[in-house]
Amino acid sequence: MGSSESTPVQWLSSPPPPNPELDQPWRTFDWGQKKYLKEKLENFSPSHPDVKDIKILVAGPIGGGKSSFINSVDSAFQGRISSRALVYSYASGQILSQNLKGFSIRSGGKTLPFIFKDTMGLESPVSAGPQTEDIINAVFGHVKDGYKFNEGQALTYKDQHFN
Ligand SMILES: Nc1nc2c(ncn2[C@@H]2O[C@H](COP(=O)(O)OP(=O)(O)OP(=O)(O)O)[C@@H](O)[C@H]2O)c(=O)[nH]1
Ligand SMILES: [Mg+2]
């Protein structure tokens, strides 16, 4: 792993069958709330004057749908399909997200105070090492946008990408 030339994890080339547990919804949701939720988020602002935006770190297993989730949120606000975050393609077999990349969401001519931070997918056993350290550093805001994750070596404070 770690480069676009590397072989993707086996199950990514043919997705596993859905878990039967997913046949039943685990909660009921009133989808009629969409307009209300959208307006609530459009009118949201952080209560602390020094906080300009809220950064949401999207982390999880490779191919888990992190980038797709960001695109879904963006699509909901744009009113059209958004594909700004690159999504894993079964056709090309490429794992695309290798950098920490921030996505802000615009709606009604303004930028909402949310920034989604897309990350490289975690995989075992690599995620037990440097990747975990990088995620912890990202939570504390120490990782600059655009940093390319290096599975062999966690980011250190000496690196130019360290905040
Ligand atoms: N069925 C289904 N497929 C999904 C869903 N979300 C994403 N996918 C598919 O799962 C694959 C991986 O999605 P990505 O959004 O690239 O996942 P990722 O977590 O960003 O992947 P990495 O960046 O490689 O770690 C793509 O082929 C998506 O089309 C979902 O909710 N349902
Ligand atoms: Mg991704």
Ligand 1 close to Cβ of residue 66 (< 6 A): yes
**Residue type at 80 in one-letter notation:** R
- Which pLDDT tens digits describe the chain residue by residue (163 residues)? 344 444 445 555 677 788 888 888 888 878 788 889 899 999 999 999 999 999 999 998 888 899 999 999 999 999 999 999 988 776 666 656 788 999 999 998 899 999 999 998 887 776 666 788 899 999 999 999 999 988 888 999 999 999 9
Residue closest to 119 by CA, chosen among 133, 140, 109, 134: 134
Residue closest to 38 by CA, chosen among 80, 79, 68, 66: 79
Ligand 1 close to Cβ of residue 63 (< 6 A): yes
- Tell which one of 57, 58, 87 to mutate to probe ligand 1, the residue whose CB is within 8 A of the most ligand atoms: 87
**Residue type at 1 in one-letter notation:** M
pLDDT given for residue 91 in this prediction? 67
Tokens standing for residue 141: 């805001």
Q: Which atom of ligand 1 is nearest to the CA of 64?
A: 19
List strands edge to edge, sheet with 101-107.
54-58, 110-118, 101-107
Look at the chain and count its residues.
163
Cis peptide upstream of residue 113 (ω within 30 degrees of 0):
no
